[in-house]
Amino acid sequence: QQQVKQSPQSLIVQKGGISIINCAYENTAFDYFPWYQQFPGKGPALLIAIRPDVSEKKEGRFTISFNKSAKQFSLHIMDSQPGDSATYFCAASPSGGGANSKLTFGKGITLSVRP
Amino acid sequence: NAGVTQTPKFQVLKTGQSMTLQCAQDMNHEYMSWYRQDPGMGLRLIHYSVGAGITDQGEVPNGYNVSRSTTEDFPLRLLSAAPSQTSVYFCASSPRDTDNEQFFGPGTRLTVL
């Protein structure tokens, strides 16, 4: 049973547009929700993360929106650029007891930003 | 700091062979993890460690062994490689006292024939 589900599976956006990637989770014990960005041939790198005590977090052009009652969170990339073209993973983990060593990842989505 | 390093970058094995994927970090992180990445599957946790001498299983541990004798190193052993273990393997580390960020290595691409 997949605990973290991403949608859509792939996304093509024009330069300057808004990219929106959604994620849904099932385990109510999850309370840390990061998004990772991965370029071809590289390891994933943390982009932005949120905890459920806030509904939104913004860092530059990247925003996470969190809906605890719906068990959903999303990544918004404003003013999308060709350099944002990468694979994006949402993930989740519970707190405590080494939780930050055992993330549960979604399947990933490939974003292509057209010039 | 070199961060998280993994060796080798690429490896080809025959079915039944054994090998060890190496992972080291120089950030004095307590937590370390191994993930595998397969097309359309995302990253799946194999094993993890919360400190030297302490390891536990993740989502897909079968066919893999780990040990953690030092804070810096966390090797992953394949005892008898199978084609189903063809994948890209990532090692990650994280400190205990921050907001859960994991730092990933560059990965090892393994092919089992």
Chain segment A66-85, per-residue pLDDT in tens = 999 999 999 999 999 999 99
Return the number of CB contacts < 8 Å for A and B.
70
| Closest-CA residue to A22 (of A69, A87, A89) | A89
**Partner-chain contact B101 A46, CB within 8 Å:** yes
Q: Output the pLDDT for position A89.
A: 96
pLDDT band for position B100 (cuts 50, 70, 90): low
B10-48 pLDDT, tens per residue? 999 999 999 999 999 999 999 999 999 998 889 999 999
**Partner-chain contact A101 B106, CB within 8 Å:** no
Residue by residue, DSSP assigns A28-68 as TTEEEEEEEEE-TTS--EEEEEE-TT-SEEEETTEEEEEET
Q: Give the DSSP letter of residue B83.
A: G
Ramachandran sector of residue B42 (left: φ over 0; alpha: ψ -120 to 50; beta: rest): left
Contacts of A101 in chain B (CB under 8 A): 31-33, 48-50, 92, 94, 102
Contact present, B30 and B95 (Cβ < 8 Å): yes
**Partner-chain contact B32 A101, CB within 8 Å:** yes
Contact present, A72 and A23 (Cβ < 8 Å): yes
Whether B50 has its CB under 8 Å from any CB of chain A: the answer is yes
Whether A101 has its CB under 8 Å from any CB of chain B: the answer is yes
Q: Enter the tokens of residue A81.
A: 């650029």
* Whether the predicted pLDDT of A19 surpasses 60: yes
Cβ contacts of residue A69 below 8 Å, gap of 6+? Answer: none
Contact present, B113 and B13 (Cβ < 8 Å): yes
